[in-house]
Structure 1
Amino acid sequence: MPDYREKLWPTPWIYIVSVLLIPASILVLAPVSLPAGIVTGIVLYVGLVGSLAVTSPVIEVQGGRLRAGRAEIALEDVGEAIPADEEQARIERGTGLDARAFLVIRGWIKPVVRVPVDDAADPTPYWLVSTRRPEELAAAINGSRRPDVQESGA
């Protein structure tokens, strides 16, 4: 069982706003065929919802590894994870962002966790990961690291 697992689903308002694809399709295709507009709108909406569900990344801490989307890193190669909420998260995603950082961020999820990479051979200075529960994710990362890494980082 993972120490931490979260799927970064879109917020409900994205699904609600996406319903507007149906009347938009009807409006565009009504002069040609009203049933075609209805069917096209429904197909577009289902396709959008399906693609949002399929492409939502999973953030997981398990077995001494952090997985964010399709990437993963051993926790022995990372420093102490730092949760960021509200203003600090905005800075992390904006003016404080290093172009070399590995990002798994979603615009509809404001909090992030910064995970420094301590591997000298890795050019990535840190991972920046969106999460709805930044304190829990940081605690799972910090609690799952090797004991000697925790002692030297504390």
Structure 2
Amino acid sequence: MSAAADHASDAASPRPAPTGQEGSQPLFRERLLPGIGSWILAVTLGGVLGLVLVPLDLTVAIMVAIVAILIALVLAVQYSPVLEVSDGQFRLGRARIDVALLGEPRVLTGEDWRLVIGQEFEPLAHYCVRVWAPSGIRVEVLDEEDPTTAWVASSRRPEDLALALRTAQRSG
């Protein structure tokens, strides 16, 4: 089964933890929050929604604007992808793959990172990239049945993510 095609939501398909690891903490977890532009957009949209209601009633318009801004901010956080290494799997957003099917993680910063997400872009790789993040990792997919060539992910802590992947691969 293709790792990128496994898009089951967390709540819809609970999977039991492997024996002896029930309740175990993830080796790595990072939520990729939106960039500053998305936060500004969320606040602006909420404010505009309130502004539209000003001719009806100023108090209602202010209340609607505040509620709309709060809802937009909560949704921005809630729908941000999570990078997680736990229970022998690497989760990138909603996609999951067993760490045993991955090669050696490569930490990328600076020019190397810009090249991987730019000129050296791989159409068959699974990407979860935030343009504001100055670093990330690239991990080759070793599963011959999976058409995905690699997983590429932005991270503020790429060294920690690579270490967590290596640790999970050794303990698996």
Q: Same fold (TM over 0.5)?
A: yes
Secondary structure at the aligned position of 2:139 is classed as: strand
Q: Is 2:101 the partner of 1:77?
A: yes
Q: How does 1:1-154 map to 2 (within 5 A)?
A: 1-11=25-35, 14-15=38-39, 18-146=42-170
Q: Name 1:151's counterpart in structure 2.
A: none
Q: 1:39-65, CA deviations, whole angstroms, 9 ceiling, x for partnerless residues?
A: 332232112111111111221112221
Secondary structure at the aligned position of 1:24 is classed as: helix
Q: 1:63-104, CA deviations, whole angstroms, 9 ceiling, x for partnerless residues?
A: 221111111111111101111112222222222111111122
Shift of 1:132: 0.7
Percent identity of the aligned residues? 35
Alignment partners' CA distance in 2, 1:26 and 1:42: 8
Alignment partners' CA distance in 2, 1:5 and 1:23: 33
Alignment partners' CA distance in 2, 1:70 and 1:53: 15
More helix as a share of residues: 1
Given that residues 43 and 73 in structure 2 are in contact (C-alpha distance below 8 angstroms), is that contact kept between their aligned partners in structure 1? Answer: no
Q: Name 2:17's counterpart in structure 1.
A: none
Alignment gaps of 5+ in structure 1: 148-154
Secondary structure at the aligned position of 2:134 is classed as: coil
Query: When the two structures are superposed, what TM-score results if normalisation uses the length of structure 2?
Result: 0.73
Q: What's the C-alpha RMSD, in Å, of the aligned pairs?
A: 2.3
Alignment partners' CA distance in 2, 1:78 and 1:126: 8
Alignment gaps of 5+ in structure 2: 1-24
